Amino acid sequence: MKTSLALASISALLAGTTFAHPPSYPPTRPSRHPYPTSTSTATPATQNWNLANFTSLVVFGDSYTDDSRLGYFISHAGAAPPVAYANPESLAASDGGRIWPEYVKQYTGANLYNYAVSGAVCDNNITPRWFSAIDAPFPAIAQYELPAYLADSAYHYPNGTKFMTDPVDATVYAIWIGTNDLGYSAFIQDEQVAGTNLTTYIDCVYAQLARLYAAGGRNFVLMNVAPLNLAPIYEAEPFSAGDNQYWTNRTDNFTETSGRMMEQVVAVNAVFEYRTPFEVLIGGGWAGASFAVYDVNGLVGFPLSLSPLTSLLPSLWSSRSRNPRFDFLVSFADDYAPLCPAQMTDIIHNPSEYLNGTAPLNVTGFVHHCNTTGGDCVANASPDSFMWYDELHPSEQTQRIVARNFVDVVRGASKWASYWSG
């Protein structure tokens, strides 16, 4: 049977791998948590998501999530915002309007603490990307965003009032990172730091979740990587944006680049899907935590039962840290991807259910066209007809869709999420 063969192939490939893995992050849960190892098992979503009341949202990420934090760095010669900085809402974010966390705030009334920075990666020790406007690499989650949150969460005003309203049982922590890690000037161009690879980046993501847990966080939403291979900047002909304001002087084969990006995205998202239950059910140290893997794009809802895959957890987990590549996941995913729900991909297949502009609906082009220096820009008069805002970023309408479904995710009953609890 195809399923059995595919799962057997995964186990065999991982078990036989003997390559050294860069020791950037621990392969198992930190032992510092004074909690027993979880003995929970997979149960219905309502039992795996323990959020009783949603009052606060703390988000980390890149330009897909940033309100205006990078703007502060630019306007202050690269200096970071001070502790207890109230990040203002932007009406001209990367989507040309309001970004998805602001819509979540509008839809739910939750307090919003947005630490995302445009251009960010998970860790600048893996994929640093230089930004001349601040004469430094773009601030990353590991080096800036998490420390900024930790400082804010501990801050009290002189009158004793706490800066953040972040009750443990009512605060959700969301991470959406990968657009820049996998993109130009990083993995897609083989410009990552020597000795690092996709597994190092994935380890970084879970290390940040562990830091949040150690600081008291208990409700986590891991948003998987968007369909970057379908973004105009990485699309194949005839839809490729070619030379553009983000990636200039291109000499790559657009079709090859798009195919490679697809492999990266599929691999990372598949690992997010199976590693999360590994962490919660096998790794231990997550007692009292609830996780939702939000399928913004990828391979979350496998049509096959997770039971066969779950039976391989011990062997897969023990060999995970030695595996430098995840090509096997690509062939596995290719077998099942057509049957898997994927939200942004669903927009492509069913645009009339999501896009509502007055112009013909468009899932391959984009709203905002500029020259390669970012000038002479022209915008379409019906932005809500488009899935993409520019060569790289989703449109504001797509961001509204992400926000609307995020609300369903935190309610514990979304078809675009899988849920696990410790």
- The three-state DSSP-derived secondary structure of 383-419 is HHHEEECCCCCECHHHHHHHHHHHHHHHCCCCCCEEE
d(CA 300, CA 198): 19
d(CA 176, CA 402): 11
Q: 178 in helix, strand or coil?
A: coil
d(CA 223, CA 297): 9
Tokens at residue 147, please? Answer: 């420390």
Q: Which residues of the chain have pLDDT under 70?
A: 1-47, 298-343
Give the bridge partners for 378, in sequence order.
369
- The CB-side HSE value for 45 (13 A sphere, CA atoms) comes to 16
Quick check: bond before 26 cis, omega within 30? Answer: no
d(CA 211, CA 56): 18
Position 46 scores a pLDDT of 53
Position 297 scores a pLDDT of 82
Position 210 scores a pLDDT of 97
